[in-house]
Amino acid sequence: MQEIPQHDGQAMTVRVRMIDEAGRAQPGEIGFGTRTVRVLAVDDRWYGRDRTWWKVVTDEGRYVLVHDEASDRWDLAAVVADEVTAPQPRPDRDGAPPLH
């Protein structure tokens, strides 16, 4: 079962170790208290006036991190739910899919 980081409704500050990936710096590990999670991939990145958001994939799930460049502070902005698959129609009693 995935342990989801808890916080009190305020931004949750995290530690982030950056790595060099093909000449570009990107998050390589996220520190949640005493626990460290390895970043497997960066799904997306977008820029604000003084912040950068990173959508990352880890062994434990997907997170959105925000980096305040002026203070060099990293916060957990969101825990992203896995994509939900729509329920598949059940076959009728003869094993054929239902007609639409």
CB 58 within 8 A of CB 38: yes
pLDDT tens-digit profile of 44-86?
A: 999 999 999 999 999 899 999 999 999 999 999 999 877 655 5
Long-range contact pairs involving 56-62 (C-beta distance under 8 Å, separation at least 24): 56/27, 56/30, 58/30, 60/2, 60/3, 61/2, 61/4
Greater pLDDT, 7 or 43: 43
Record the pTM.
0.71
The token pair at 90 is 């059940």
Length reported for the chain: 100
The pLDDT of residue 3 is 46
| Beta bridge partners of residue 32, listed in sequence order | 35
